[in-house]
Amino acid sequence: MLVPRRTTIAYLFAAVFLLNPSSLWQQLYPLLNEYKPNCSQPTLRGSAGTQRFDPLNESPRSNYISNIDEIQLPMQAAHDGFVHAIHTLKIDDAYIPGTTGIVSSAGGTYLPTFLISLLLLRRTGSTLPVELFMKDRTEYEPLICETILPPLGAKCLVLSDILGGQDSPQSMEKIEGFQLKSFALLFSSFEKFIWLDADCVPLHDPAMILNSEPFESTGLVTWPDFWANSAAPVYFDISRQSEPPSTSRQATEAGILLISKETHFSTLMLAAYYNYYGPDYYYTLLDQGAPGAGDKDTFLHAASALNKTFYSVSEKVVDLGNVTPWNSETAVNAGYIQADPIEDYNLTSQGKWRIKDPSVSSPPRAFFIHAGDPEFNPGKDLLGSKLTGFDGKPTRLWTHPPEAMKRLGYDAEKAFWEETVSVVCDIQPVFESWKSKSGLCDKVKEHWDAIFENPDVNVPEFAEG
C-alpha cells in the first residue's frame, strides 16, 4: 500500500459539500437543448492540415466549410439565444468564494498517470487541493479514491452523479471524451483554479501563478499549441465577433488552463455549449480538421465571443525528446514544455515578443511538462520503444534540445521515474487497469538502474549558465 513519503497536509474539502452542482445542471441542461443548432452539421471540403503558426506574416483565414449558407443563420440564431440566456441566468452557488485549487479528470488507464502526476505536484511543495473528475461510476475505483488520494489532498467527483438528477437519463450520454473537461471546469467548487490534464505536471509550486499577473487582471490564461489557429471565418460570423489576425496567437494547447469563475463563469458556460455540440458542430468550425481537434480552442473563443479579457502565453511550446541521428536539430517527441506565464507576461508587457524575435531576451523558464508521448504509466506505453536509443541502448526520454533542457532547471525526468517506481512497486495491483499486468515493478527498476544508477550515462545540463 502506498504511504506518502511526505507529511500529509490537512486539505480543506468542506467547500465541495456546500455546493449543489446538480442545481446548476438543472438550469443549464434545458438551455443546452433549447438552443441546439437547427441545421445540418458543418461539412469539410479539404482540411486545415498541419499549418504551423507564423507570428510575422499575416495571411487570410482559410475556409474549408462547404455548406456555409445552410448553417450560418441557424447556428447564429442558436448562439445568440444561448448567450442571451446565460446572461440572464441566476446562479447562486457556482463556486465557493476565496477557494483555489487544481482540477483534473482521469479514469481507467489514465488513473495511474494521474497519481504519478499528483505525487510530482506534491514534490513542488504545493498544498493546493485537487478535484479529480470521472465520467461515471465505472471509472470510480474505491481504494484509489477513498484510501490513496485523500491523504494526498485529492478528491474524486463523478460527473454522472452530478448530472444524474436531471429528468432526462440521456443527459450524460452526449458528454464524453474531449467534452468532459468543460463540464469538470463548470462543476468544480473552486473560484480560481488550474486545469491540468492527467499527464501535465508543474515543475514548480503553481500557487504563485494564481496570485500574479497575467492571471490576476484577466482571470483566464492559456498556453499555445504548435499550430496556427484554424477557426473557420463563418464561426466569427456565427458568434458575432471580428476575426483576429492570423499573427495574433497560436491555437490553444488546453492541457493547462488558469481560470477564475468570478470573471469567467459565463465563458465556461459558453465553452460547455461549444463542447456539448462539439462533435457535431463546433469542433469542425473551430479546427477545420487541424491536428488535435476537440475542446482545445473552445475556451479562448468563448471568452472572445463574450468580450472577456484573457492572456494567451506567447512563448512557443517546445518538444522534448532524443535527437535523431539524421538531423541534429530534431527531437523525436516524448513530451513538451510550456513557459512560466509570469516571466512571459513580464516580457510581452515590455513589448518583447520572443515569438517574433528570439533575440530580444532569454526564454522564460519552463513551468509545465506535458508528458504525454509516452505517458508515465508503465501499464500503458511507457515501457515501449522510446526507452531504447538509436544506438540500441537504454536511454532517457528527454535529452534534447539542450536549450529546453536548461530551462527545466533540474532533473525532472529523474523525479518522474522516482515517483513511477514508487507507485508501480508499492501499489501495482490496486489499479483496475494494472491487474492483468505482470512484472511492471521489475521492468521500471531495470530501466532506473540502467539510466539513473549508471555513471556512464550522460546527464543533460539543466541549470542556465
Secondary structure of the chain in the HEC alphabet?
A: CCCCCCCCCCCCCHHHHHCCHHHHHHHHHHHHHHCCCCCCCCCECCCCCCCECCCCCCCCCCCCECCHHHHHHHHHHHHHHHHHHHHHCCCCCCCEEEEEEEEEECCCCHHHHHHHHHHHHHHCCCCCCEEEEECCCCCCCHHHHHHHCHHHCEEEEEHHHHHCCCCCHHHHCCCCCCHHHHHHHHHCCEEEEEEECCCEEECCCHHHHHCCCCHHHHCEEEEEEEEECCCCHHHHHHCCCCCCCCCCCEEEEEEEEEEEHHHHHHHHHHHHHHHHCHHHHHHHHHHCCCCCCCCCCHHHHHHHHCCCCCEECCCCCEEEEEEECCEEEEEEEEEEEEECHHHHHHHHCCCCCCCCCHHHCCCCCEEEEECCCCCCCCCCCCCCHHHECCCCCECCCCCECHHHHHHCCCCHHHHHHHHHHHHHHHHHHHCHHHCCCCCHHHHHHHHHHHHHCCCCCCCCCCCCC
Considering the chain, what is the average pLDDT of its residues?
91
Report how far residue 138's alpha carbon sits from residue 111's, in angstroms, rounded to the nearest whole number.
12
Q: pLDDT at position 172, please?
A: 62
pLDDT (tens digit per residue) in 229-250: 999 999 999 999 999 999 899 9
Residue 267 has pLDDT above 50, yes or no: yes
Identify the pLDDT of residue 427: 78
Out of 46-50, 135-139, 352-356, pick the least confident.
46-50
pLDDT of 463 > 80? The answer is: no
Over the stretch 20-64, which tens digit does the pLDDT of each residue have?
A: 777 889 899 999 999 999 999 999 999 988 888 999 999 899 999
Poorest-pLDDT segment among 129-143, 273-287, 316-330 = 316-330
Per-residue pLDDT, 400: 93
- pLDDT of amino acid 168: 47
Query: Domains in the chain, start-ordered, CATH in brackets?
Result: 19-312 (3.90.550), 318-452 (no CATH)
Neighbours of 55 (CB within 10 A): 18
Q: Give the residue, 46 or 221, on which the prediction is more confident.
A: 221
Highest mean pLDDT among 85-99, 331-345, 421-435: 331-345
Q: Look at residue 428 in the predicted model and tell me its pLDDT.
A: 67
List all residues 6 or more positions away from 152 whose beta carbon is below 8 Å from its beta carbon.
4, 8, 118, 119, 122, 130
In terms of pLDDT, which residue wins out, 159 or 1?
159
pLDDT for the residue numbered 325: 80
What pLDDT is stored for residue 314 in this prediction? 97
Q: How confident is the model at residue 17 (pLDDT cuts 50, 70, 90)?
A: very low
Model pLDDT, residue 464: 60
What pLDDT does residue 291 have? 82
Asked if the model's pLDDT at residue 278 lies above 90, the reply is yes
For residue 164, the model assigns a pLDDT of 78
Query: Can you give the pLDDT at residue 19?
Result: 63
Q: What is the pLDDT of residues 315-353, one digit of tens each?
A: 999 999 998 888 877 778 999 999 999 999 999 999 999
Give the model's pLDDT for residue 175: 81
Distance CA 136, CA 158 (A): 5
- Cα atoms in the Cβ-side hemisphere of radius 13 Å centred on 459: 12
Share of residues in the chain with pLDDT > 90 (%)? 78
Among 42-51, 161-170, 197-206, name the one with the lowest average pLDDT: 161-170
